[in-house]
Chain A
């Protein structure tokens, strides 16, 4: 939900998804090419600052989303530095600090690039982009339905919890577990009924096997793609320069 809210509120909401994807892809490419920790740190900083100041993503949202992957990254770095050896003894692995820093910073830069994309592009736009890139229809149909159903089910779940809470369904652990179990069972039936209802609604509007939607129009896409390509080239040049020299 945090990603969803941030994407709709972002200043780059109306920017063509292709431009944002191009920039993010260039960021990932540059992070892959770059070698020195300093350049990787600079790349991560540039990509994060672009999301925070360019797209005006709220710092709280950005930190809230980056916290979980950062935790994984930290654990991985610790595992590179220390852990069990072949004889089952604890100790330093002796991985060079520079290697650990490079891996961590490269992951961070890639993470910042991808977050910049998903925090500025609502999923329907991303699905539209994937459609243009000829992703299999079946996969996209599933994505469309899953995405919509997420919100419908969340609403149904919240309504159910409120109704149960109003009748003291969550007064203590025992009650809470029982209520949650009942609700999950009831939602399973609802899912089945809703899928039948959706099929019927699609049939009523002439469904013929594929879900077809009108793609969103981004009138300035060409100009935005050009800008993204330029900015992306700079990032790639930075990464490639670091690798070569």
Chain B
């Protein structure tokens, strides 16, 4: 099946001559949840910016539905309508002073009429749990709320693909749970999601596909369970084995749990353990 978005041997060379991407190849299948894992400086942000057309490759090709990206003004407008990007730092994305105003920016750029834009803004704010907060000043919001406004600003453009650059960074545990629920809802609606993260446990729990990056190259790509078992690739990408996988592998080796199913979180491993029959040791016989 043709991937929705793909990179084929893409290089990106910055103005100072350093490489952002080096022969990077990667495909995003439609409707799946993708996680991009890599150490700082591995090229995750550069790759996301390429997928939104903000950067152009120095070599190689990017494709949407098998067709090379069209870098003309109209082509970019079309690409950005379909592929939305949420930046890591909300203060670098939000430039309007009011929540509603900022969320309306993207849809208005699509040339939609005011009534449609208003409906989309309301629905995007509702999706991120900020309904009724449209009139608030952006600088009065908390970091987590600003992040949600950023996501709403992109959701209001109703993209097919949502790219998120380290969305969990700077969020407290409760906010992370809320954001994960939001991402689940979006994935359930058929939106293809690609997010970059440093959290291998989250990536293993949440993603259908994991892509590992190191030094500007995509060194492994595939179903989460398969990629998570490749310790060499994980190490090269500055990651460790997911805790759930390590724990389950050990328990399966000891014969405690069956090795044929793969719990994706520590909680799921614990649930599997709880489901085992309790062994009662009787009183020693005399």
Contact status A204-B96, CB under 8 Å: no
Q: Would A206 and B157 be within 8 Å (CB), given that A123-B97, A213-B101, A214-B108 are in contact?
A: yes
- Within 1-54 of A, Cβ neighbours of B (below 8 Å) are at 4, 8
| Closest chain A residue, CB of each to CB of B138 | A148
A122: nearest chain-B partner, CB-CB: B137
Which B residues touch A122, using CB under 8 A?
A: 97-98, 137
Do A213 and B92 touch across chains, with their CB atoms under 8 A apart? no
Asked if residues A216 and B80 are in contact (CB atoms below 8 Å), the reply is no
Evaluate contact between A213 and B108: CB separation under 8 angstroms: yes
Does A155 sit within 8 A of B, measured CB to CB?
Answer: yes
Decide if B108 touches A202 in the complex (CB within 8 Å): no
CA distance A194 to B87 in the complex (A): 13
A216, chain B: closest CB distance, angstroms: 7
**Would you call B100 and A152 a contact (CB within 8 A)?**
no
Which among B52, B89, B135 is the interface contact of A204 at CB below 8 angstroms? B52
- Shortest CB distance B128–A (Å): 16
Interface string of A204-239 (1 = CB under 8 A from B): 111110011110110000000000000000000000
- From B92, B104, B140, B157, A214 is in contact (CB under 8 Å) with B104
- Tell me if A92 is interfacial: C-beta within 8 Å of chain B: no
Provide the bound-state CA to CA distance between A12 and B109, in Å: 32
Contact across chains for B139 and A151 when beta carbons are under 8 A apart: yes
Contact in complex: B137, A208 (CB < 8 Å): no
* Inter-chain contact B153/A205, CB cutoff 8 Å: yes
* Interchain Cβ contacts within 8 Å, total number: 101
**A8-B137, A212-B109, A214-B114 in contact; A201/B93 too (CB < 8 A)?**
yes
What residue in chain A is nearest B109 (Cβ atoms)? Answer: A206
Judge whether A194 and B121 touch: CB under 8 Å: no
Q: Does B49 make an interface contact (CB < 8 A)?
A: yes
**A147 pairs with B77, CB closer than 8 A:** no
Q: Which residues of A contact B139 (CB under 8 A)?
A: 148, 151-152, 155
B140 A8 Cβ-Cβ under 8 A:
yes
* CB-contacts of A175-221 with B (<8 A): 194, 197-198, 200-208, 211-214, 216-217
| Interface members, chain B 81-108 (any A CB < 8 Å) | 81, 84-85, 87, 89, 91-98, 100-102, 104-106, 108
CB distance from B245 to the nearest CB of A (A): 35
CB-CB under 8 A from B140, the residues of chain A are: 8
Cβ–Cβ contact B106 & A206, under 8 A: yes
- For residue A144, CB closer than 8 A to chain B, the reply is yes
User: What is the chain B residue whose CB lies nearest that of A208?
Assistant: B109
Chain B residues within 8 Å of A201, by CB = 87, 92-93, 95
Contact of A208 among B77, B100, B153 (CB under 8 A): B77
User: How distant is the Cα of A217 from the Cα of B118 in the complex, in angstroms?
Assistant: 10
Per the 8 Å Cβ criterion, residues 10-69 of B in contact with A are: 49, 52, 54
CB distance from A107 to the nearest CB of B (A): 30
Q: Given the complex, which residues of A lie within 8 Å of B92, measured CB to CB?
A: 194, 197-198, 201
Chain A residues with a Cβ under 8 A of chain B: 4, 8, 122-124, 144-145, 147-148, 151-152, 155, 194, 197-198, 200-208, 211-214, 216-217
A-B contact pairs, 14 of them (CB 8 A): A8-B137, A124-B101, A144-B96, A148-B94, A151-B97, A151-B139, A194-B91, A197-B93, A205-B80, A207-B109, A212-B108, A212-B109, A213-B104, A214-B114
